[in-house]
Amino acid sequence: MASAFANVARICSPAPQRVQVPGRLSSVNLVSFGVSKRSFGAVRAPRLSICCKAKPETVTKVMGVVKKQLALDDSKPLTAESTFSDLGADSLDTVEIVMGLEEEFGITVEEEGSQNIATVQDAADLIESLLEKKTAA
Selecting among 90, 93, 122, 125, the annotated active-site residue is: 90
Q: Active-site residue 90, yes or no?
A: yes
Neighbours of 124 (CB within 10 A): 26
What SS3 string covers the chain? CHHHHHHHHHHCCCCCEEECCCCCEEEEEEEEEEECCEEEEEEEEEEECCCCCCCHHHHHHHHHHHHHHHCCCCCCCCCCCCECCCCCCCHHHHHHHHHHHHHHHCCCCCHHHHHCCCEHHHHHHHHHHHHHHHHHC
The catalytic residue positions are: 90
